[in-house]
Amino acid sequence: MENINNVTEFILLGLSQNKTIKSLCFLLFLFCYIAIWMGNLLIIISITCSQLIGQPMYFFLNYLAFSDLCYTSTVRPKLLTDLLEERTRISYVSCMAQLFSMHVFGGVEIFILTIMAYDRYVAICKPLRYTVIMNRRRCYVLVFACCTGAFLHSFMQCLLTINLPFCGPNEIDHYFCNVYPLLKLACTDTYSVGILVVANSGMMGLVNFVVLMLSYFLILYTVRVYPAKSHSKALSTCSSHISVVVILFVPVLYVYIRPAVTFPEDKVFALFFTIIAPMFNPLIYTLRNLEMKNAMRKFGCGCIV
């Protein structure tokens, strides 16, 4: 049967219909958005303008901060404007574009976090071969692989969604165009599509999460025999990375690893990977990192001079 699409726009129901709550959310999310831009831009500038850019860990951190900015900007500006409006609409084309861009930059962030875990594994478990294994050419290849993998993931996600027929209700019970609420609106059986979505998004998140945890387990197992100073430094680095992984991956796995159904609390969990994780990444990676603090201090002194 030929797909019929009579829907040209969707209505986003958002987080709440209460005007007071929407006003409070606007102020809170505006502050968070400014904090995300300031924190991640500071990381990018501090790394780029210092010798840290030559170290693989900070090379990848630079791209992580950039992907955070791009990822949150696919949702946050639209969310802020919607909180000020009575009825929030998004065109079909804009909805598909938002879905695609979210999964591209979200995929890049997930893959880069996995590469950063691999980088720490090589640095701590194979220190004598670190400079050979993580040379600059390989770092660029890994970043390119992250972008390619994220693009393919997002392309498949959108391909599954864009072929669905929408011919009835157009209200999305969310504050952005997410795949599960869209499956709920499709006027066809979406069971097989839902399975493919879980295989695409859910399994990608789960596999990367397992690889990340395995990498950090091997690191912790290796450093148990190290001297106290080296042991504490490795633990400090790994603990900051694990904090980022937990904040990002637990909500992602909750939303995408289960069958294609929607729950009211999905919107709350989505706040973690669209707002909270990009905002806390700069704090987690800088407050416990002496090299980053020194680089920021030098950048600040240079601006004052």
For 156-162, the CB contacts below 8 A with 24+ separation are 156/196, 156/200, 157/99, 157/100, 157/103, 157/197, 157/200, 157/201, 158/96, 158/99, 158/100, 158/103, 160/193, 160/196, 160/197, 160/200, 161/96, 161/99, 162/96
pLDDT at 120: 86
CA angle at residue 192 from 107 to 260, to 5 degrees?
55
- Give mean pLDDT, residues 50-76: 90
CB atoms near residue 127 (< 10 Å): 11
pLDDT in tens, 221-277: 887 776 666 667 667 667 777 887 888 888 888 888 887 777 778 888 888 888 888
Q: Assess whether pLDDT exceeds 60 at residue 47.
A: yes
Q: Is the pLDDT of residue 107 over 90?
A: yes
With bands split at pLDDT 50, 70 and 90, how would you rate the model's confidence at 305? very low
Confidence of residue 304 (pLDDT cuts 50, 70, 90): very low
| Cα–Cα distance, 246 to 111 (Å, whole number) | 15
Inform me whether the pLDDT recorded for 29 exceeds 50. Answer: yes
Pairwise CA distance, residues 40 & 56, whole Å: 18
pTM summary value: 0.88
pLDDT computed for residue 1 by the predictor: 44
Question: At how many degrees (to 10) do helices 56-73 and 277-287 cross?
Answer: 160
Six-digit token pair at 254?
Answer: 């909750």
The alpha helices in 174-257, defined as continuous H runs, are 179-185, 191-197, 203-223, 228-256
Mean pLDDT of all residues in 155-169: 86
Distance CA 301, CA 299 (A): 5
The pLDDT of residue 193: 87
- The residue-averaged pLDDT of 162-179 equals 85
Residue 137, pLDDT above cutoff 70? yes
Cβ neighbors of 207 (< 8 A, separation 6 or more) are: none
Overall average pLDDT of the 67-73 stretch: 92
Q: What is the mean pLDDT of residues 25-29?
A: 92
Higher pLDDT, 300 or 173: 173
Q: Give the per-residue pLDDT at 173.
A: 86
Residue 25 predicted with pLDDT over 50: yes
Q: Is residue 101 scored above 90 in pLDDT?
A: yes
- 3-state class of 10 per DSSP? strand
Q: pLDDT value at position 141?
A: 96
Half-sphere exposure of 109 (CA within 13 A, CB side): 26
Instruction: Band the pLDDT of 4: cuts 50, 70, 90.
Output: low
As a whole number, mean pLDDT of residues 137-146 equals: 95
Structural domains of the chain ordered from first start: 16-296 (1.20.1070.10)
Nearest to 220 by CA among 125, 287, 116: 125
Percent with pLDDT over 70 in the chain: 91
What 18-26 contacts at long range (C-beta under 8 Å, 24+ apart), as own/partner pairs, is: 22/83, 22/84, 23/83, 25/83, 26/80, 26/83, 26/84
Distances (CA, A) of 60 to 44, 64, 108, 144: 11, 6, 11, 12
pLDDT tops 70 at residue 2: no
Q: Supply the mean pLDDT for the chain.
A: 85
Most confident of 100-104, 177-181, 270-274: 100-104
Taking residues 284-291, report their average pLDDT.
72
**Residue 288: which pLDDT band, with cuts at 50, 70 and 90?**
low
